[in-house]
Amino acid sequence: MLRRTLMLAWAVCALTLSSYAQAVSTEPEHKKALLEVFTGLNCSWCPYGDEIAESILNLHPGEAFVIDIHTGSLAVPRSDQTDYTTAVGDSIGAFIGQGRLAFPSAAINRQEVEAGKYYANRTLWSEFVDYVLTQTAPVNLALTSTYDGTTNTLTCNVEGYFTGEIDGTEQRLNIAWTQDGIVGYQNGATNSTSYTHNHMLRGLATPLWGDLIDGAAKGQYFSKSYSIELPDSVGDVKVNPEDINVIAYVCNGRLDVENVAGGKPTYVNYGETEKGELSEPDLPIGTRWGYNFFNVKLRNRSAKVIENATFDVTVNGETQSSTATCSIDQFGEQTVSVPATYSYAAKGKTKYSVTLKALNGNAVEESTLSGSFQKPSYTTSTVKVKITTDNCAAQNQFLLKDADGNTLREFGPYQDGVSATYEETVEGLDEGKTYCIEILDSAGDGLLSGTKGSLITHTGIDKLIDQFYSITGFGVRSFFIVDNATGISETTAAPTTEAIYTPDGRKASASARGLTLRKMSDGSVKKSFQ
């Protein structure tokens, strides 16, 4: 049973900053963005909406927040499906949508997108979020929350300060709590029976339409504290305290979200034994690998802050122990670089595994990530780089790195808002050293806006190293080893899952393996497609 208790009375005053201790800023700030995404497990387009929402969160960490509200006819479960709906979510969806919601759609700060309409199609979310983030907030918010495992209680503390004039007299504080990591069915997803739902609305700590902030006016400070006992489950879904997030926002009445704050609780009397879980990093180890480390995503499954982690790294049957430093908050996650010394397989792919053994020096339950990769291609000491950007070049980094992951050069900056092709040359690379051209996409949605972005790398004598004509996710890497003797003799481009193109620009058959170049006795280069 959900228990809501008002812990402190409103404190509304016009005191100077020196008169009271407060965490909230009194200086004008830009608004933060709240996306209330209306979705349903039987909506085939909703996974695309989730991808867009995640890309917005990646681009605006700490400035954008998402609440997924399962409501409407496409959220009604069949007899064999899990019910993700909530009464409060249905009420919000009915009020915002007025019975006309399309799925997926989202209210962005509950602002009017056109006459009488307060929700937008997924193709417009990014545009509206960018617009909201330019607006000056009339109120600043500071949120802290704590979960106590002994009492199963979530306590939320909010401070606010009105820095500007407000439009309307009903300023209302709302506090929602959401849950990540809910695995279940989702129509339209590749893994439709085991889709991971995040940001799912589970309940409110305030009344449905918030609590009225008495005496709200420019220069006024307020504070509020709530305590709720978390239920064991919401509908058919078990509540996992470690997966919850808290979001506070102030509305002008029921609409126009004036500002937002959010984050994970601090945990006490809960999860006191170190535990971790490994998974693929956002930019996984691809077809080829050449760094002196392996990247893994380490999820902290405890309320202990993780400062170091020890692993067993096995490459082609040879195991070494390796320790990586990190700083992972309670129930947070981080991509960790695990140092390793290894040799490539004489033939075929190099197999590797990384096994978590200890956290903060304490032995933990093992978790393993494994895979395989090929040796980098050979090149001359000069590498030619051809980069085509999509329409969002400002979201990308174009880097040359050494084998330790140090950035040696950053290409660009390239023009944003237009797709264009740039040719760069890297000279003076050291013999025997491994390097990487790395394209990173901060939004995590690839170089796919408008004209697709691409990366093509050649040796100094125009031998193909790598080509990537469709860059998805968080980016791509092209590894190569400088070997001038090998780099000017026969070489074949790396097999790739990307499309292969002939020298005249035609797309080759699926069975093609790569472009072969041979240096002839007269110094010319002969091209053949294999």
- pLDDT digits 0-9 by tens, 28-53: 999 999 999 999 999 999 999 999 99
Q: Measuring CA to CA, which residue among 292, 290, 463, 496 is closest to residue 375?
A: 290
pLDDT tens track for 359-396: 999 999 999 999 999 999 999 999 999 999 999 999 99
Instruction: Find out whether 263 and 246 touch, Cβ atoms under 8 Å.
Output: yes
Residue 334 near residue 326, CB atoms below 8 Å = yes
Q: How many residues does the chain have?
A: 530
Give the distance, in angstroms, between the CA of residue 320 and the centroid of all CA atoms in the same chain. 31
DSSP state of 74: G
Amino acid at 185: Y
57-98 residue pLDDT tens: 999 999 999 999 999 999 999 999 999 999 999 999 999 998
pLDDT of residue 12: 40
Q: Three-state SS for 459?
A: strand
Burial (Cβ within 10 Å: 0-12, 13-18, ≥19) of residue 54: middle
Least confident of 17-26, 157-166, 392-401, 449-458: 17-26
Q: Given this model, what pLDDT does residue 513 score?
A: 38
Domain regions of the chain by residue span: 3-268, 276-373, 377-529
Average pLDDT of the chain, as a whole number: 89
Q: Which two three-digit tokens encode residue 86?
A: 């909530």
Topology annotation, domain 276-373: Immunoglobulin-like (2.60.40)
Q: Which residues of 165-194 are buried (b: 16+ CB within 10 A; e: fewer)?
A: ebeeeebbbbbbbbbbebebbbbbbeeeee
Nearest CA to 368 out of 356, 380, 357, 384 is that of 356
Q: What angle do CA 166, 170, 176 make, to 5 degrees?
A: 105
The share of the chain scoring above pLDDT 90, in percent, equals 83
Phi, psi for residue 529 in degrees, rounded to 5: -105, 125
Q: How many CB atoms lie within 10 A of CB 402?
A: 17
- C-alpha pair distances (Å), 144 with each of 23, 51, 125, 243, 453: 10, 28, 28, 16, 41
Strands 377-379 and 475-482: parallel
Superfamily holding 3-268: Immunoglobulins (2.60.40.10)
- Using the predicted structure, report yes or no on whether residue 456 has a pLDDT greater than 70: yes
Topology alike, domains 3-268 and 276-373 = yes
Supply the pLDDT for residue 100: 86
d(CA 349, CA 371): 10
State the pTM of this model.
0.85
Please name which of 103, 115, 211, 205 lies closest in space to residue 156, comparing C-alpha atoms. Answer: 205
Specify the long-range contacts of residues 232-236, CB closer than 8 Å, at least 24 apart: 234/86, 234/179, 234/202, 234/203, 235/82, 235/83, 235/84, 235/85, 235/86, 236/82, 236/83
